Amino acid sequence: MKTEATRAAYGRALEALGHSRTDVVVLDADLSGSTKTAAFGKSFPDRFFNMGVAECNMMGFAAGLALSGKTVFASSFAIFAAGKAWEQIRQSICVPNLNVKIVASHAGITVGEDGASHQMLEDIALMRVLPRMKVVVPADSKQTEAAVEAIATTEGPCYMRTSRAATPVMDDAPDFVFGKAVVHRKGSDLALVACGVEVYQCLLAADELSQEGVECTIVDCATVDPLDAETVCEAARTCGRVMTVEEHQIVGGLGEAVAGTLLENGALVPMRRHGMTGQFGQTGPAAALLDHYHLDGPGIAEKARRFLGETR
């Protein structure tokens, strides 16, 4: 199966967007080789600005460009884009509801060898709490390319998380539509609801569980906010149990978004959140870290078995 990091797909889609949209301007914080905005900068040097190691200033600059009618894409590592510049994002972008698209790479434990300081595990929580901010976490490069097009035409601020590590490209998956969850497979025993790199790992877990007679529905919430309540609730009611899986703290992330949605829509079923549980990451290869934190296919399958055993 072909693999590609979602950040690479972002760079390719962004350059393509530059050819069709002359209003698109791109900012980067001296990391364009890693975030993959460099291709846009090479093709459109008059619409690309390297702001240096100054993320807070970059967000203010992005707000100014958006006020002048531009559609602005601003990129850095997630720890800096979502963490360091949070106040500027809130005050200068979200309060006035500006057309700034923050695309942050190197999030989650699959940042790998960069270690805990760079493995941003709180960005989804920080972004989804902001009024007017839309949050997208694509699962593969196919979704990423479609998501770039979608957020470019979505009014107001957007945050998209991309990965450092290469992940399988799911060519047979349904097309991405902003605001809609994707159902990859249907079962009746357990709904696995995931986003980002964990979607493919959930598919591996579902294959393993299927051999034991447990059939899972896999719901891919690439749009974390606004969450597709209809699809999530339908999966919960059909399966009677939900387990969310994310490469993020379970506090404030996808799991809590799903829990709140089920509660508010009267779809209360036994539920388990699986992700990072109040700890920081550590240095190591991405695959080894997924294994260590039980966020790979076998680890998810084992967590699912325990959950099912507790609720039967």
Provide the 8-state DSSP code for 176.
P
Please name each of the domains of the chain with its CATH number.
Answer: 3-168 (3.40.50.970), 182-311 (3.40.50.920)
Distance CA 296, CA 201 (A): 5
The amino acid present at 62, given as its one-letter code, is A
Query: Which residues carry out catalysis?
Result: 55
C-beta of residue 255 within 8 angstroms of C-beta of residue 229: no
Burial letters for 227-253: b for 16+ Cβ neighbours within 10 Å, e otherwise?
bbbebbbbbbbebebbbbbbbbbbebb
CB 106 within 8 A of CB 81: no
pLDDT digits (tens, 9 = 90+) for 21-77: 999 999 999 999 999 999 999 999 999 999 999 999 999 999 999 999 999 999 999
CA distance 75 to 281: 23
pLDDT at 172: 83
d(CA 41, CA 37): 7
Give the single-character DSSP code of 25: E
pTM for the model stands at 0.97
Cβ atoms < 10 Å from Cβ of 187? 18
Cα dihedral 231, 246, 126, 85 sign: negative
Rounded Cα gap, residues 67 and 61, in angstroms? 10
pLDDT at 7 over 90: yes
Mean of the per-residue pLDDT values of the chain: 97
